[in-house]
Structure 1
Amino acid sequence: MSTVAWITARGLFGRRRVLLLLPLPALLIGLALLCEAYDVNPADWGEPVLVGLGLAVVLPVVSLIVGTGVLGSEVDDGTIVHILTKPLPRRDIILAKLGVAIVVSAVTAAVPLFVAGTLADSARLGAALAIAAAIGACAYSAFFLMLSLLTRRPVLLGLVYILIWEGLLSRFISGTRVLSIQQYVITIADKITPTALYEDEVSLTVAVVMSVIFVLGCTLAAVDRLRSFSMAGETS
């Protein structure tokens, strides 16, 4: 399992795709520093930067890039066959790759959110955002990893979820917020350190329970799908 995780991490950081992880976190920190330098009231820039950019764009997009990259490329080029020939439980393969995706996504998103939250209010708010982002990274990574096994267009479907479901529908249709990872993250962050910079739209119970359901459900679905690859002897 550790060997699979090491190979996954080396492959992920060895591709040019990893360079896509840098601009958005840098933009988030840069905007926060710029607002701080010009003494802009945090009440004016806190929500659009922390939520509009940090939680609505940086966290999900980074998780999408990493979550679909740890296994999706192997499915596309057929090298997944070599992994499936190894005497490893399919569960261990998924857990190893999911672990790498979660760690990379969480660190990449949590660090800039901590910096931006600290500049906007305090280190406590920064820590709350970082913790919530790490929890969100678990749910997003499991979801996007599952998509990479269920479809050949995981990035496209992931963007539809981020932009249409979370970005559009959840703003106007309250019922869709129950299936919005972004809303779980906002609620968890707000419960850890309450702030007037943004408002939560779902209860803490919903946020925690649905986050667990996303992680467990998507992970189990990914394991089951990988088993079907092995049984069918194909990657389509």
Structure 2
Amino acid sequence: MSTVAMITARGLFGRRRALMLLPLPLLLIGLAALCKSFDVEPTNWGQPVIEALGFAVVLPVIALIVGTGVLGSEIDDGTLVHILTKPLPRRDIILAKYLVAAVVTAITTSIPLYVVGLLTGSAAFAGALAIAAVVGSFAYTALFVLLSLLTRRPVLLGLVYILIWEGLLGRWVSGTRVLSIEQYVITIADKIHPTTMLTGQVSVTTAVVMSALFVVVSTVVAINRLGSFSLAGETS
């Protein structure tokens, strides 16, 4: 499992895909620093920068880039079937790749959100944002790793989930929020450190339970799905 994790990490950071992880976090920190430099009150810029950009764009997009990248290239070039010929449990392959993707996403998103939280003047709020980003990283990554096994266009479907389900329906149709990782993240951060800058729209119980379900269900289905590659050698 450790060998698969090392190979995955080396492959992830050895591609141009890794460079795509930098612009969004830098933009997030830059906007917050710009507002801070002009002495704009955090209550005026916090919601659009943290919630509308940080949690709605930066976190899910980075998770999408990383989550679809740890398996996507191997599926595209056919090397996944070669990996499956090795005496490795399917569970270990998925868990290793998922953990690498989740940890990379968590580090890449929690640090800039922590910095943004500090720029609001509250270390406690910064910690709440970082914790929420870690939770969201594990949930989003599990979903996007699964999508890379279910379809040949995981990035497209991931963008549909982010932009349409969470970005559009999640804001206007209350029932869809139960399946919105963005809403879980906002609620968790707001629960840890209540503030007017965040507007969580699901209960904290829903946020915690559903985040765990996204991780567990997506991972289990991904493990089962990977088993079909050893038989069919391709996705449907």
TM-score tier, shorter chain, comes to over 0.9
**Residue in 2 that maps onto 1:130:** 130
Residues 109 and 53 of structure 1: CA distance in aligned 2, closer, same or farther (over 3 Å): same
SS at match of 1:40: coil
Contact 2:150/2:235 (8 A) holds in 1: no
CA distance in 2: counterparts of 1:221 and 1:73, whole angstroms = 20
**Residue in 1 that maps onto 2:115:** 115
CA offsets 1:61-111 (integer angstroms, 9 cap, x no match): 000000000001101110101210110000000000000000000000000
**Residue in 2 that maps onto 1:14:** 14
Question: Which amino acid in the other structure matches residue 153 of structure 2?
Answer: R
- TM-score of the superposition, structure 1-length normalised? 0.98
Contact 1:51/1:198 (8 A) holds in 2: yes
SS at match of 1:152: coil
CA offsets 1:135-155 (integer angstroms, 9 cap, x no match): 000000000000000000000
CA distance in 1: counterparts of 2:234 and 2:54, whole angstroms = 39
**Residue in 1 that maps onto 2:49:** 49
Contact 1:81/1:235 (8 A) holds in 2: no
**Residue in 2 that maps onto 1:98:** 98
**Residue in 2 that maps onto 1:163:** 163
CA distance in 2: counterparts of 1:191 and 1:230, whole angstroms = 44
Contact 1:78/1:235 (8 A) holds in 2: no
**Residue in 1 that maps onto 2:4:** 4
**Residue in 1 that maps onto 2:67:** 67
How far apart are 1:199 and its partner, in Å? 1.4
Contact 2:32/2:49 (8 A) holds in 1: yes
SS at match of 2:82: helix
Contact 2:28/2:54 (8 A) holds in 1: yes
Contact 1:80/1:235 (8 A) holds in 2: no
**Residue in 1 that maps onto 2:202:** 202
Ranges of 4+ aligned residues in structure 1 off by more than 6 Å: none
Gapped regions of structure 2 (runs ≥ 5): none
Question: Which amino acid in the other structure matches residue 25 of structure 2?
Answer: P
Does residue 221 (structure 1) correspond to residue 221 (structure 2)? The answer is yes
Does residue 178 (structure 1) correspond to residue 197 (structure 2)? The answer is no
Question: Which amino acid in the other structure matches residue 197 of structure 1?
Answer: M
Question: Which amino acid in the other structure matches residue 85 of structure 1?
Answer: T
How far apart are 1:233 and its partner, in Å? 3.3
Aligned residues, how many? 236
CA distance in 2: counterparts of 1:27 and 1:166, whole angstroms = 21
Residues 199 and 235 of structure 1: CA distance in aligned 2, closer, same or farther (over 3 Å): closer
CA distance in 1: counterparts of 2:233 and 2:20, whole angstroms = 33
Question: Which amino acid in the other structure matches residue 129 of structure 1?
Answer: L
How far apart are 1:121 and its partner, in Å? 3.5
RMSD value over aligned CA atoms?
Answer: 0.8
Gapped regions of structure 1 (runs ≥ 5): none
